[in-house]
A and B are shown apart, each in its own frame.
Chain A
Amino acid sequence: MPTQITDYKCPACTAPLRFDSNTEMLKCDYCGESYSTAKIEALYAEKEKAAEAAFSREEKKARKTLPVSEDEDEGGDWDLSSLSGDWGAEAEGMRAYSCPSCGAELITDETTAATACPYCGNNTIIPGQFDGALKPDYILPFRLDKEAAKQALKNHYRKKPFLPRAFSSANHLEELKGIYVPFWLFDADAQADCHFHATRSHSRREGDYRITTTEHFQVRRAGSMRFQNVPTDASTKMPDDYMDSIEPFDYRDLKPFSTAYLPGYLADKYDVSAEESTQRANKRCRATAIEVMRRDVLGYETVSPEGCHVRLQGGKVHYALMPVWTLRTKWQGKDYLFMMNGQTGKMVGDLPVSYGKFWGTFAALSVLFSALALWSGVGQWLAAVFMA
């Protein structure tokens, strides 16, 4: 059943608006006008209510006109028995919307909150996904555009001696999407109490013997610290390792959430609850708390933890949308996924290794290093030491 969706249109020419990451304004590509997000929000606050009502009316009207009399249908005798009547179990995870621009039916999954119509390219927002308790607290607007993402991918290929030459020259971007990814941001207070075994040693020479004295210490460090905005991605669609790898985000640019930042990008609502994400955040905080204690143990040559107790007191949890560019390429039938932090430009993604280049480099370096070892006499020296 179609649900109401919103697209921000230019008040001057009614063309679709998109959020421009460079100016942080909503821009019309047709007439060139730009509008602040606040202005458009205010303008559309009233329009949304009217649009909802209008959409309901249209829906009712459509229902009335849908049935077609068999007498009027003069088509052939098509056998429709093989068509499935419903989407089965998949239907539960899917939603259907009507594009307010061209009327096409948009099929999305249930977490999609902003998308673009594949027929007319209109940017559409599904406000219901961000209503009430589902409304994000913050949004970090895109600062880098599509071209910056493409350039970052090119840069990512540079200085990679084992990258197959054909990979960077022959492969093409299959997909390039700017997505606002839902994140939970956790605040927490940590109290850590850690015990370490530390040693330091000194040597002196007595006759023909070197006497090494090792002093052993029992070290304890206890203290507290505060974590702020530890992020965990709240979307099962986004791989956790990719999301971890594009960190950190600069939270100074966080803005109170507004759908006005969404046009031109895709957006998902969360499908991993804050409770489910707590474990990951706690694990990271605990590891850092221990490391902070460990780093304070100075003046020793070896420090090994003997036991640590970390107590975490959860603070506020915020729901935020973070900007991520996803780039997908295909090479030799295999998909390669890259992601870029839409704010800082940090690009991540594993690259294929050319085994020909690997072994060629290995052979060349082996010859070089072996020649160096022979020339310097290190090998002879070792042989003499062990065999003499």
Chain B
Amino acid sequence: MKKILSFLAVLALLTALCVPALAAEPELDNVTDAASLLSDQEWAALESKAEALSAQYECGVYIITLDDFTDYVNTNDVNEAAKAIYRAYSLGWGAEKSGVLLMLSMAERDYSLIAYGYGNTAFTDYGKDQLAKRFLDNFGEDDWYGGFSDYLNKCGSMLSTAREGHPLDVDSSPQIRLVGILISLALGCLAAMALCCVLCLRMKSVAKKEEADSYVQRESVQFIVREDHFTHASQTRTMVENSSGGGGGGGTTVDSDGFSSKSGKF
């Protein structure tokens, strides 16, 4: 049953991407496991939960797994691929097409987390970071069901608080809020002390001179040796967090196409 569903999902994806304009209603289940990561029972449990969340909060909650997103979309950007699929299948709730989609591409172990419509309100940049933290540890251990369950649970709590008018954001956590205030105070004090020290230095104008720069006859300076020898090269590799958005002051960074997104490796 699961295999058949997976095959149909792949077929549907390929077909729909060819005729995106025809789609008006969501044409995919909330959970589409084209990479066959889940058992039938797991899929059913997740699908039912995602459907319930979508209906309860009027915001579509989706999961898509693919073997390789480049098979479906002509782009190397996993976020752009997720957006293309979201649009092609007319995903999202209601006229606003509100929703949140977690897409996994197994070839390079890429993930993309995108939101649209009300999803942008409920899933802020900070919220997406928190959401990603929930599932990445599971995915790192190939615990797909655990990761998706955590994703849905966190989506539920985030949609709940968002509907109450308090979407999860930087200032949502009392601990972070407190530390943020303390850091702001510390930064303020440090900047003030630095400026005061600079002003204090202006009170001192007496110091011994250690150089005789003013007394060099510029025309007398002659170089007889100028040698620059390359000796060796060294390399450092630094992991780059592949995430878009990330506005430090909170809120959601929305692209010109109306999506907000976050991506990375798992």
Contact = CB atoms under 8 A, between A and B. Distances in A.
Contacts of B211: 284, 287-288, 291
A99 to B, nearest CB: 35
Interface string B116-131: 0000000000100110
Contacts of A362: 189, 192-193, 196
Contacts of B179: 379, 383, 386-387
Interface stretch (B11-19, B20-28, B98-106, B238-246): B238-246
A331 to B, nearest CB: 14
A374 B181 contact: yes
Interface in A346-388: 347-353, 358, 361-374, 376-388
Among A156, A218, A361, A373, the most chain B Cβ lie within 10 Å of the Cβ of: A373
Given A369-B192, A387-B179, A244 B249 contact: no
A361 B199 contact: yes
A366 B188 contact: yes
Contacts of B240: 205, 208-210
A292 B219 CA distance: 13
Contacts, number: 247
A370 B217 contact: no
Given A220-B227, A223-B223, A225-B220, A388 B129 contact: yes
A380 B176 contact: yes
B83 to A, nearest CB: 20
A225 B223 CA distance: 9
Contact of B200 (A358, A378, A385, A386): A358
B238 A221 contact: no
Nearest to B192: A365
A217 interface: yes
A161 interface: yes
A297 B201 CA distance: 31
Interface in B32-57: none
B231 A218 contact: yes
A240 B206 CA distance: 10
A257 interface: no
A238 interface: no
Contact of B225 (A223, A372, A374, A376): A223
Nearest to B202: A160
A225 B222 CA distance: 6
A226 B220 CA distance: 6
Contact of B184 (A221, A229, A287, A378): A378
A385 B246 CA distance: 10
A222 interface: yes
B4 interface: no
Contacts of B233: 213-216
Interface residues of B, number: 70
A383 B180 contact: yes
Given A248-B214, A296-B223, A213 B180 contact: no
Contacts of A241: 206-208
Nearest to A195: B227
A211 interface: yes
Contacts of B193: 362
Among B182, B227, B250, the most chain A Cβ lie within 10 Å of the Cβ of: B227
Contacts of A225: 216-217, 220-222
A229 B203 CA distance: 30
Given A161-B199, A225-B221, A379 B187 contact: yes
Interface in A219-255: 219-231, 239-242, 244-245, 247-248
Contacts of B212: 227, 230, 281, 284-285, 287-288
Contacts of B126: 384, 388
A380 B187 contact: no
A370 B221 CA distance: 50
A383 B240 CA distance: 20
Interface residues of A, number: 85
Contacts of B236: 211-212, 214
Given A208-B240, A209-B237, A368 B209 contact: no
B210 interface: yes
Contact of A370 (B188, B210, B214, B222): B188
A214 B224 contact: no
Interface string A267-299: 000000000000001011101100110001000
Given A284-B210, A362-B192, A221 B225 contact: yes
A216 B234 contact: yes
A372 B237 CA distance: 36
Contacts of A363: 192
A70 to B, nearest CB: 58
A96 B71 CA distance: 106
A137 interface: no
B213 A288 contact: yes
Interface string B159-203: 000000000001101011101111111011101110110011011
Interface in B223-266: 223-240, 242, 248-250, 264-265
A335 B249 CA distance: 53
Interface of B: 126, 129-130, 133, 170-171, 173, 175-177, 179-185, 187-189, 191-193, 195-196, 199-200, 202-217, 220-240, 242, 248-250, 264-265
15 contacts: A211-B235, A211-B236, A212-B238, A224-B220, A227-B217, A230-B215, A245-B209, A283-B210, A291-B213, A292-B216, A348-B206, A365-B188, A378-B248, A380-B170, A380-B177
The 5 closest A-B pairs by CB, nearest first: A370-B188, A381-B248, A379-B184, A377-B249, A365-B192
Interface of A: 156, 159-163, 193, 198, 205, 208-231, 239-242, 244-245, 247-248, 281, 283-285, 287-288, 291-292, 296, 347-353, 358, 361-374, 376-388
Given A217-B229, A218-B231, 6 more contacts: A217-B231, A227-B216, A348-B205, A371-B188, A378-B184, A383-B170
